A and B are shown apart, each in its own frame.
Chain A
């Protein structure tokens, strides 16, 4: 007798009065939830459902609904259903629990405890519909010393910079973890928006080389797809040290996802697992990082800014200070709520610190050391909307990375089952018939719409504060107030309490 220790999380409800028995749900669900019994009657296997809403969204008569399964264990504050179920799972399989996207646990979201200022009487707010409002952003090392030539003219010592029309970039998601169509949509949208996307650590598919001026290429511990043409192809190079969702560990793309194109792009054999080691095996210390930075600069003729991406961990401000002194032009900090294609659940839910605190601490530390201008700071990991961006920039960021929000724009429904490779929305999958569901042109349009809308919102909030250029917002912490925060949190964030 088979005993089910735990029940499925969701129930698929079919309204029999509405259902026209067309069977689209069967073809649309790659998780094989929907099927017909011997008599041809439509059934649903709840236990296979990940709640991705594909069937709901494609049902022509709105006959489907997915609801939370209300079954419950005996109530216990210490032992949640989640905890109990996971023990059953591990007792059954002996495996590490994997999960996708950012942590779902109820940690404080500091963005939501910060309020934005606006002008009243003593200075005017600025109407972005009538006055110029600038969001153009440059990322890179700044020169704080002005030199003059013999004629008294300013010497232009150009350092490598990235130029963005708005301070938003699409963060690293590798080809492999997401589909080629998703990459195409990101690349085309980045070009339209005059911003950058990041190809992640899985190399750059040859069809995307024409978007190089709008691409950040990544060099990670697995060195997948890294060759001189690749290094030359992008606008900037990012050394990935860590990821917010899984600081301290590497990655694992299963052989099943390594098809011909991915194998070619990553320069690894087809069908074999692609393992990214936890550390870079040529970086065991900060002086080693400097060497990799220099190697990449040397390889690209000192023309491209080097980004170093790290996960926000406890002593992040000293780490960032060390990186700033190691030749990096830009530092990307990824907060612990950041997304992932797959990460061990316990790491995702317990390792690292919130990006808001990490950002505030790093910006302040770099200023105290007088080296804030020697790098730009880009933050990511849970940027959900334009107000988060305003707060991030006022805390001290130069720009933000968004990953999850971009995927949601492409259709992701946050079911958090990316690692299974059956993404019904054609995003986190390599199955051809699923990838086809994501139309890159439509995806591009949706991404352009999202970022354009956010940029308008940024301008409106800036105008409200009487600020008409994004650089005057950067690090302008007087524009922020905390609500419901204790003194220590306010101190770390470097902001005053509401009412102060």
Chain B
């Protein structure tokens, strides 16, 4: 049977996210508690978490989380990393042996900084340089997969139910101001850890529920800009589009949302002149980045979290706020388990992003 990346596998899912606007740190257990409620929305073929603010002592370095199928892939990748980065620290990512998680690959973590000489030679800034290196490893080194490459953040994912994945990675030992969680329900058995969510590039991580019908149009568009969609998943291409528009083009996330889940023309036609001109301009010029079909996504980024639904709201998504805490989930039960007395409870409209940011960064 073909592995994920060689074949496209649709999947349904559960997602949830927790965020403290005051940068209060809390452990990954909260995310586990939330996603556990939606056990039935996953089928044991993938689960994962992203935590932000978890590596304060190494916050100026890129944290690479890498999965290796075998030692050969590890040797080759480390050789590559040595050539391109200063490796400040490396270690196995601590895990706990549990019955539910089997056949684990080698799981390593590296804190790195681009080699100054190589960086200058490349004429790139450090984020673009790192992104390209990550894509190179994922594309060319067989059996190696860099699943996380941002600063002061990390992705933890595996085959299994998400609550077991959280336990496996000892997420109670990490404290962050933002966590996202994902339980996967693929329609096939890929048997591969790299295919689980979140999908992440640099600081941006995406958890996603849905199957988009625009996939190949989006993929072929992104490949023009050097993004290689090696996993063939919706989440991967969505993450690349966000990276392209937000990081590379400098577009604020709400505007990115108005490209990915563009308002209907009938809505645009009713907008006031300035907004109409701007949204028409974006939709016209980036029409290939429009996503159709059902999706709900949570996008984690440095200092913030965004929830977004497809234009027709074909997937459930709910957001609750209490004091400085924001809770997001596919189902209300997933956030009620953490907080039952919300100041505000919202079901974001289709195509309308819900963005929260750290108060000290606003």
Q: Most A CB atoms within 10 A — which of B8, B220, B286?
A: B220
Contacts of A124 in B (CB 8 A): 294, 314
| Complex interface residues of chain A between 267 and 318 (CB less than 8 A to chain B) | none
Query: Is B213's CB under 8 angstroms from A143's CB?
Result: no
B12 within 8 A of A: yes
Decide if B290 touches A469 in the complex (CB within 8 Å): yes
Question: Which residues of A in the span 121-163 have a Cβ within 8 Å of any Cβ on B?
Answer: 122-124, 126, 131-132, 134, 136, 138, 142-146, 148, 154, 156, 158, 161
Q: How far is the CB of A140 from chain B (nearest CB, A)?
A: 8
Cross-chain contact A146 with B10 (CB below 8 angstroms): no
Contact B213 A472 (CB under 8 A): yes
A134 and B264 within 8 A (CB): yes
- In the complex the two chains form, is A479's CB within 8 Å of B216's CB? yes
**Scoring B residues 199 to 231 as 1 if CB is less than 8 Å from chain A, else 0, what string do you get?**
000000000001111111110110111000000
Among listed B38-46, B67-75, B151-159, B277-285, interface-contacting one:
B277-285
- Rounded to whole angstroms, the CA-CA distance of A79 and B292 in the bound complex is 54
Please tell me if the beta carbons of B250 and A146 are within 8 angstroms of each other in the complex: yes
In-complex Cβ contact of A156 among B245, B278, B311 (8 A): B278
Q: In the complex the two chains form, is A467's CB within 8 Å of B249's CB?
A: no
A465 cross-chain contacts in B, Cβ below 8 A: 213
Taking a contact as CB atoms closer than 8 A, the residue among A136, A158, A373, A474 that contacts B224 in the complex is A373
Given the interface contacts A131-B312, A134-B264, A472-B214, does A122 sit within 8 Å of B12 by beta carbon?
yes
CA distance A290 to B281 in the complex (A): 27
Which one of A126, A146, A478 lies within 8 Å of B249 (CB-CB)? A146
- Docked Cα-Cα span, A126 to B211, in Å, equals 13
Q: Is the CB of B288 within 8 A of A471?
A: yes
Q: Is A476 an interface residue, CB under 8 A from the partner? A: yes
- Nearest Cβ in chain B — how far from A309, in angstroms? 23
Closest chain B CB from A10 CB (angstroms)? 48
Query: A470-500 toward B: CB 8 Å interface, digit per residue (1/0)?
Result: 0111111111000000000000000000000
Nearest chain-B residue to A393 (Cβ)? Answer: B217
B window 277-316: CB within 8 A of A: 277-278, 281-282, 284-288, 290-294, 311-312, 314
Q: Does B95 interact with chain A (Cβ within 8 Å)?
A: no
8 Å CB contacts to B: which residues of A444-478?
A: 465-469, 471-478
Least CB distance, B347 to chain A, in whole angstroms: 18
Which residues 212-264 of B sit at the A interface, judged by CB distance below 8 A? 212-218, 220-221, 223-225, 245, 249-251, 255, 262, 264
Q: Are A122 and B285 in contact (CB under 8 A)?
A: no
Nearest-neighbor residue (CB-CB) of B282 within chain A: A154
Give, as a whole number of angstroms, the nearest-CB distance from B245 to chain A. 8
As a 0/1 sequence over residues 241 to 260 of chain A, the CB contacts with chain B under 8 angstroms (1 = contact) are: 00000000000000000000
Are B293 and A467 neighbours in the complex by a CB distance under 8 Å?
yes
Q: Mark A59-94, 1 if CB is under 8 A from B, else 0.
A: 000000000000000000000000000000000000
- Chain A residues near B221 (CB, 8 Å)? 475
Contacts of B214 in A (CB 8 A): 467, 472-473, 476
**A132-B264, A472-B290, A472-B291 given as contacts; is B281 within 8 A of A158 (CB)?**
yes
Least CB distance from B305 to A in Å reads 22
User: How distant is B46 from chain A, measured CB to nearest CB, in Å?
Assistant: 15
Report the minimal beta-carbon distance from A471 to chain B, rounded to whole angstroms: 4
Least Cβ distance of B154 to chain A in Å?
30
Within 8 A of B (CB), among A348-370: 367, 370
Question: Is B346's beta carbon under 8 Å from chain A?
Answer: no
What is the CB-to-nearest-CB distance from A344 to chain B, in angstroms, rounded to a whole number? 39
**Inter-chain contact B213/A466, CB cutoff 8 Å:** yes
Asked whether B189 is an interface residue with its Cβ less than 8 Å from the other chain, the reply is: no
Residues of A within 8 Å of B312, CB to CB, are: 126, 131-132, 468
Interface size of A by CB at 8 A reads: 38
A156 cross-chain contacts in B, Cβ below 8 A: 277-278, 281
Contacts of A476 in B (CB 8 A): 213-217, 220
| Shortest Cβ distance from B225 into A: residue | A370
| B266 interface contact, C-beta 8 A | yes
Q: Provided the pairs A123-B10, A132-B264 are in contact, do residues A475 and B293 lie with their beta carbons within 8 angstroms?
A: no
Number of interface residues of B (CB under 8 A): 45
Residues of B within 8 A of A134 (CB): 264-265
Q: Which chain B positions have C-beta within 8 A of A138?
A: 284, 287
Q: CA A122 – CA B12 in complex, angstroms?
A: 7
Decide yes or no whether A119 CB sits under 8 A from chain B: yes
Q: Is the interface of A mostly helix, strand, loop or mixed?
A: loop
* CB-contact partner of A154 in B210, B255, B292, under 8 A: B255
Q: Roughly how many angstroms separate A143 CA and B223 CA in the complex, as a whole number?
A: 17
Q: Once the chains bind, are A142 and B293 in contact (CB under 8 Å)?
A: no
Q: Is B89 an interface residue (CB 8 A)?
A: no
Does A372 sit within 8 A of B, measured CB to CB?
yes
Q: Is B187 in the interface zone, CB < 8 Å from A?
A: yes
Closest partner residue, chain A, to B293 (CB atom): A466
Residues of A within 8 A of B285 (CB): 142-144, 373
How many angstroms between the C-alpha atoms of A367 and B210 in the bound complex?
Answer: 27
Q: Which residues of A contact B264 (CB under 8 A)?
A: 132, 134
Q: Contacting A473 at CB < 8 Å: which of B217, B249, B294?
A: B217
Q: Contact between B224 and A370 (Cβ–Cβ < 8 Å)?
A: yes
Interface string of B307-350 (1 = CB under 8 A from A): 00001101000000000000000000000000000000000000
Smallest CB gap from B8: residue in A:
A478
In the bound assembly, the distance between CA atoms of A468 and B295 in angstroms comes to: 13
Q: Which residue of A lies closest to B259 (CB)?
A: A146
Contacts of A158 in B (CB 8 A): 281
Instruction: Tell me if B12 and A474 are in contact (CB < 8 A).
Output: no
Interface centre among B266, B282, B286, by most chain A C-beta atoms within 10 angstroms, is: B286
A472 touches B217 (CB 8 A): yes
Cα(A490)–Cα(B223), bound, Å: 20
Q: Is the CB of A154 within 8 A of B288?
A: no
Q: What's the nearest-Cβ distance from chain B to residue A117, in Å?
A: 9
Contact B287 A367 (CB under 8 A): no
Chain B window 94-138, contacts with chain A (Cβ cutoff 8 Å), 1 for yes, 0 for no: 000000000000000000000000000000000000000000000
How far is A136 from B263 in the complex, measured between Cα atoms in Å? 13
Of B187, B245, B311, the contact of A468 (CB 8 Å cutoff): B311
Instruction: Give which listed residue, B8, B210, B223, contacts A123 with CB less than 8 A.
Output: B210
Nearest chain-A residue to B211 (Cβ)?
A: A123
Closest residue of chain B to A494 (Cβ to Cβ) is B220
Residue of A nearest to B223 (CB): A367
Chain B residues whose CB sits within 8 angstroms of the CB of A373 once the complex forms: 224, 285, 288
Contact B216 A468 (CB under 8 A): no
Q: Whose C-beta in chain B lies nearest to the C-beta of A144?
A: B285
Residue contacts A-B, CB under 8 angstroms, 6 given: A146-B249, A146-B250, A148-B250, A156-B281, A468-B312, A475-B216
Chain A residues near B (Cβ < 8 Å): 119, 122-124, 126, 131-132, 134, 136, 138, 142-146, 148, 154, 156, 158, 161, 367, 370, 372-373, 465-469, 471-479
6 new A-B contacts at CB < 8 Å, known A132-B264, A472-B214, A475-B220: A123-B211, A123-B213, A156-B278, A373-B224, A471-B288, A472-B218
Ordered nearest first, which 10 A-B pairs have the shortest CB separation? A472-B214, A466-B213, A471-B287, A478-B216, A472-B292, A123-B211, A476-B217, A122-B10, A476-B216, A466-B293
